[in-house]
Amino acid sequence: MTTSRAGASAPATPTQWHDRKRYLWLFGLVPPTAILLAVALVWAFNKVGWQAVAPVWWWIGPLLVYVLLPILDRFFGPDGQNPPDEVMEQLENDRYYRYCVYAYIPFQLLSLVLAGYLWTADTLSWLGIDGGLGLISKIGLAFSIGAMGGVGINAAHELGHKKDELERWLSKITLAQTFYGHFYIEHNRGHHVRVATAEDPASARFAESFWAFLPRSVWGSLRSAWHLERTRLQRLGKRPWTIRNDVLNAWLMSVALWGALAAVFGPEVLPFLVIQAVYGFTLLETVNYLEHYGLLRQRTSSGRYERCAPEHSWNSDHIVTNIFLYHLQRHSDHHANPTRRYQTLRSMDGAPNLPSGYASMITLAYLPPLWRRVMDHRVLAHYDGDITRVNVHPRHRDRVLAKYGAR
């Protein structure tokens, strides 16, 4: 039987145990409000005569993802606290935690509208800027909003797993910014069924670079989502081209949102929307890449894959990124209990652990030689050196088997 890590050994009553992260979850609102902070900082720097430095704040999203979070993860380290069994029901039903996620959405939409205005404005004299934003500032703005959208996909991920109809619709609304509404279908009904198998487009293979994984996961997930919905509707005697198709109605939300922004700010806002969307879903796919790299569920005597277990997901318990990603890094428990709310997820025994938080590993994933130097030996150690138990990329199988041998 799989047990949880720290905190599970000491019995506690609901009145004795306290979630020390309870109010830290509000920091999850930093990504959707970061551009508001950037506007204030640009204004302040221009006001005091630091015009040469001020534009750097339009890059606040990438600075948060690639610089600040890795530093904070390194400084604060792993969490180490798990909710005990005795408090799980009370913690699950505490509505405060879901309100922390709900609050992401209005700030996300507000920041998106503000960014559309900033991108298209001919003059921003009230910010101390002569004329509109320059090209570098515009790209930074798009990447910062894209980072918000990427983290927003994670908020949608949390909501989309729930049985509550409102939360499922909120999930689609959150995905509208990045035009990634099909994620709602593919992740829940595709990825969770096929995770850590060769058939799953969102499970990275050993020796597969992120840059090879990215198009395979993007297009494979899209095709899978359409196939899943078409099959569901066929069982109901309906054609796929209907508003009841959850892929289509999710995409229609994106069309409505992007269309409204184009109507307000003009067609010149469309390049901004495309850039932020591509960067946003690429950030999600980077996380997909590192969550299951090289891990493989074995086939049983019946020919079916074994049940998904903690050892089929890479975990990280670094507290800072966990707060920003609603415990996404406790990924093994999530796959074992998909409907469990983020505040009750636990670090599980038997799960392989990444050397750092997701924020640090994202940068590493962009650099395949460094990624393989850090991760390949960890994959092999997880399988006691048996390369035949690893999810190896078919194109590299002969080379990998020759290098590591077969036991």
pLDDT digits (tens, 9 = 90+) for 128-151: 998 999 999 999 999 999 999 999
Give the model's confidence band at 404: pLDDT under 50 very low, under 70 low, under 90 confident, else very high.
confident
Is residue 395 situated within a structural domain? no
**C-beta of residue 321 within 8 angstroms of C-beta of residue 73:** yes
The pLDDT score that the predictor gives to residue 348 is 84
Answer with the residue of higher pLDDT: 302 or 282. 282
Is residue 13 situated within a structural domain? no
pLDDT in tens, 262-285: 999 999 999 999 999 999 999 999
Is residue 238 situated within a structural domain? yes
Is residue 337 situated within a structural domain? yes
DSSP per-residue letters across 355-374: SS-HHHHHHHHTSHHHHHHH
Mean per-residue pLDDT over the chain, rounded:
92
CA angle 61, 29, 318 (to 5 degrees): 75
The pLDDT score that the predictor gives to residue 14 is 54
pLDDT in tens, 209-245: 999 999 999 999 999 999 999 999 999 999 999 999 9
Full residue range of the structural domain in which residue 276 is found: 22-382
Query: Rounded to whole angstroms, how far apart are CA atoms 34 and 343?
Result: 23
Give the model's confidence band at 13: pLDDT under 50 very low, under 70 low, under 90 confident, else very high.
low
Q: Is the pLDDT of residue 1 over 60?
A: no
Q: Is the pLDDT of residue 405 over 90?
A: no
Q: Is the pLDDT of residue 6 over 90?
A: no
Tokens (6 digits) for 365: 């994933």
Is residue 109 situated within a structural domain? yes
The percent helix, strand, coil of the chain (3-state, each to 5) is 65, 5, 35
Is residue 398 situated within a structural domain? no
Counts of helices then strands in the chain (DSSP H, E): 18, 0
Give the model's confidence band at 8: pLDDT under 50 very low, under 70 low, under 90 confident, else very high.
very low
Q: How far is CA 225 from the centre of its chain?
A: 18
The pLDDT score that the predictor gives to residue 272 is 98
The pLDDT score that the predictor gives to residue 172 is 92
The pLDDT score that the predictor gives to residue 198 is 93
Q: Is the pLDDT of residue 325 over 50?
A: yes
Is residue 14 situated within a structural domain? no
Answer with the residue of higher pLDDT: 214 or 82. 214
Q: Is the pLDDT of residue 3 over 70?
A: no
Buried b (16+ CB within 10 A) or exposed e, 366-382: eeeeebbebbbeebbeb
The burial class, CB within 10 Å (0-12 / 13-18 / 19+), for 90 is middle
Q: Is the pLDDT of residue 9 over 50?
A: no
Query: Rounded to whole angstroms, how far apart are CA atoms 136 and 141?
Result: 9
pLDDT in tens, 203-214: 999 999 999 999
The pLDDT score that the predictor gives to residue 389 is 93
Total count of domains within the chain? 1
Count of CB atoms within 10 A of residue 127's CB?
A: 18
Give the model's confidence band at 402: pLDDT under 50 very low, under 70 low, under 90 confident, else very high.
confident
The pLDDT score that the predictor gives to residue 192 is 93
Task: Spell out the residues 6+ positions from residue 266 whose beta carbon is closer than 8 angstroms to its own.
Answer: 120
Mean pLDDT of 283-302: 94
**DSSP helix/strand/coil, 400:** helix
Is residue 138 situated within a structural domain? yes
The burial class, CB within 10 Å (0-12 / 13-18 / 19+), for 303 is exposed
Query: Rounded to whole angstroms, how far apart are CA atoms 318 and 403?
Result: 33
**C-beta of residue 19 within 8 angstroms of C-beta of residue 312:** no
**C-beta of residue 114 within 8 angstroms of C-beta of residue 39:** yes
Tokens (6 digits) for 31: 């990504």
Mean pLDDT of 12-23: 76
Tally of residues, the chain: 407
Query: Rounded to whole angstroms, how far apart are CA atoms 375 and 291?
Result: 12
